Amino acid sequence: MRILVATAVPVERDAVARSFAGPAVDVLAVGVGPALAAAGTATALARTPYDLVVSAGIAGGFQPYAPVGSLVVADEITAADLGAETPDGFLPVTELGFGTVTHRPPEALVREAVAATGARAGAVLTVSTVTGTAARAAALRDRHPTALAEAMEGFGVAEAAALHGVPVLEVRAVSNPVGPRDRAAWRIADALTALTEGFGKLAPVLESWNQA
């Protein structure tokens, strides 16, 4: 079982690698945002055959569903702002007649990851612009009622994995509430600690998992 863990930035990479690294695991910082994450992940997949790709890092959590410091495992990875604004509201790219906006990790793997870590399972949204208002946070939850968190890389990582025929998982530790940007409410260090602890529990599950 060879695993690629893709994070956005080196501090996330280091948090994962502290408890989850070995000869069959590569933890790479592939860049911020869906485009760079997709490019970096696709490059890694072209060079090395992997059996599983994991998008990992910190994220904003929709309150009260994903409290700061909690761990989230995606049962769907959705591009929340890939589409078009219309007079009647937002239309995802799928309703425009092309593309995809959602990738679904293997259900059995999600269940095992949740059981091992105590994480919450739900949708993790990928956005190109981080939410900064209560109105946008509410609009995203209205469109995606199972959303627990938002980040900027998961969909890009999942797109690259899908193109290479490799299953994908997304794991996020919540560092701040989704909504108005209040830096005083951010708990990045706590989220990185939760990420390290979570991957310590998750490592045996991922390393032994085989897709049926």
Mean pLDDT of 128-145: 93
**103 pLDDT tier (thresholds 50, 70, 90):** very high
Mean pLDDT of 42-55: 96
Residue 205 pLDDT more than 80? yes
Mean pLDDT of 143-149: 96
Least reliable range by pLDDT among 112-121, 154-163, 197-206: 197-206
| pLDDT score, position 212 | 58
Is residue 122 within 8 A of residue 142, CB to CB? The reply is no
Q: What is the pLDDT of residues 77-93, one digit of tens each?
A: 999 998 788 887 887 87
DSSP 3-state assignment of 90?
Answer: strand
Residue 41 pLDDT more than 90? yes
Q: Where are the beta strands (DSSP E) in 62-143?
A: 71-79, 83-86, 89-92, 102-103, 120-126
Q: What is the pLDDT of residues 3-17, one digit of tens each?
A: 999 999 999 999 999
Is residue 122 within 8 A of residue 72, CB to CB? The reply is yes
**171 pLDDT tier (thresholds 50, 70, 90):** very high
Mean model confidence pLDDT for the chain = 93
Is residue 146 within 8 A of residue 124, CB to CB? The reply is no
| pLDDT score, position 138 | 94
